[in-house]
Amino acid sequence: MWDSIFGMLSGPLLAKLALAAALIAAFSFLRRKDTEGSMAGYAIVACFLALRDLAFVLVVDPRLYGISDLILVGGLLFLSHKPLRLGWPFWVGIGFDGAAIVLLALEAFGLDIGVPPDYFRLAALIPVLAMGILPFLLNVEADTPARILSLRSALPLSIGSAVYIVAGTVLGSGDALFRVLVTPLFYGLLFALALMFIDIIQGELVSAVDYYEESVDSLYDLLLSTGTAMRSETFLQDVVDNMIRTVVERTGADGGALLLSDEFEETVSVRAVSGNTRRPSSFPRISRKRPTGSNPSFATPDSGSGRVS
């Protein structure tokens, strides 16, 4: 008995199980870096690969293996479609895949449909074609890591799935070339997805570091200009001049002005101007007394009150 069990677990099956275990470990690790839940779905797909390979050793039925292939391809396409939301054309293709699963299951339970079991795989070519074309036709934006992964992998995943489906149909589920070469290569496509996601996460990290480095540089320039002004005789004016000039340069604005309010005279005055900003000649007097619930008002000796929001 043990000899037969070890015999089943040797050769191509052992290699595929090792690949599936490595995929489970990789996607489980990446799940901690994924905020959108995509990696958890791919980890479930990797678990499904291991279970269906073990089941096919115990129950050698090409119809059951065909059902598992249709579920596998449909699941991968669904995970790739989920962040993109391609709409009803994709779901029509998935409907053909689901119909093929139902018909193949009925044949497995004794209903003779008159179609070779391996030919039912061809139904999965419809959603594969939709997944390969729709993201580019709809011009989907890549604004999150999951969307970037889906767009990058749409064409390779569609081509790999199509090759796997056609090879399974032509060679058959029990063919040695299909089990030893084609299936492990298709599993390797999932490794490519994991590597793509790592590259995307690394790119996002580099962009974040660049952004914060630029922010720190801006703060450093501001503090440096302030420290330089502190050593001069006109300390306060140099501070505000350097401050507004640094802010304008770092934000890329055309110009800017720094306004200060006088606590005793209740007025607002322009203390520093930089760039293409015209210095206002005067500002109205601030009225501190105002009714509850009303907006602030400015009162001037000449023009009365003017309401501002």
Q: Is the pTM of this model over 0.85?
A: no
pLDDT of 277: 67
Nearest Cα residue to 146 out of 211, 79, 209, 89: 79
What is the strand order of the sheet 285-286 is part of? 255-262, 267-275, 285-286, 297-300, 304-307
Which pLDDT value is given to residue 10? 53
Structural tokens at position 181 = 């070469």
Domains of the chain: 2-210 (1.20.1070), 232-282 (no CATH)
Lookup: tokens for 110 = 């004794």
Please count the other Cβ atoms lying within 10 Å of the Cβ belonging to residue 243: 20
pLDDT, position 111: 74
pLDDT computed for residue 199 by the predictor: 86
What pLDDT is stored for residue 282 in this prediction?
A: 53
Residues of the chain with confidence (pLDDT) below 70: 1-12, 220-236, 262-263, 265, 277-309
Residue 135 has a pLDDT of 81
